[in-house]
């Protein structure tokens, strides 16, 4: 398995050269990314546990995003935690809506029966 900061031997001189692992995403970025919306993303595992992201076919320094692998993992964990928190909040909101609807129904029926009994 190739790791971050992988080195390969140069065939004739025998010196070690950096050989980062690169992969291209299958789908395009999408319209939220402006002029790069049709481009796919290149993900590079660079040296020192860094992950580089840039749109395919660009060399703009402003388009290159470099993150530590631990930062990407932390961000992923926060997304998972936020998603679970949001699901719990949605369930609580649904329970509250049902409770309030039942209370409205009860009050309406009580008013209706009170009118008929007087």
* Mean pLDDT, range 60-87, rounded to an integer: 96
Tokens of 40: 């796919």
**What pLDDT digit, counting tens, does each position of 78-117 carry?**
999 999 999 999 999 999 999 999 999 999 999 988 877 6
Residue 17 C-alpha from the chain's centroid: 33
Exposed/middle/buried for residue 54 (C-beta within 10 Å: 0-12, 13-18, 19+)? buried
**What pLDDT digit, counting tens, does each position of 6-33 carry?**
888 887 777 888 888 899 999 999 999 9
* Mean pLDDT, range 56-61, rounded to an integer: 89
Distance separating alpha carbons of residues 15 and 29, to the nearest angstrom: 38
Residue 44 has pLDDT above 70, yes or no: yes
Distance separating alpha carbons of residues 11 and 84, to the nearest angstrom: 51
- The pLDDT, as a whole number, for residue 118 is 65
């Amino acid at each position: 398995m190739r790791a971050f900061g992988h080195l390969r031997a140069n065939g004739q001189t025998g010196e070690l050269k950096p050989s980062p692992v690169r992969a291209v995403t299958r789908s395009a970025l999408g319209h939220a990314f402006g002029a790069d919306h049709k481009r796919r993303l290149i993900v590079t595992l660079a040296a020192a546990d860094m992950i580089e992201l840039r749109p395919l076919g660009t060399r703009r320094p402003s388009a290159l995003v470099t993150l530590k692998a631990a930062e990407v993992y932390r961000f992923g964990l926060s997304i998972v935690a936020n998603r679970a928190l949001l699901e719990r909040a949605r369930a609580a909101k649904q329970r509250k809506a049902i409770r309030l609807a039942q209370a409205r129904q009860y009050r309406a029926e009580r008013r209706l029966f009170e009118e008929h009994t007087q």
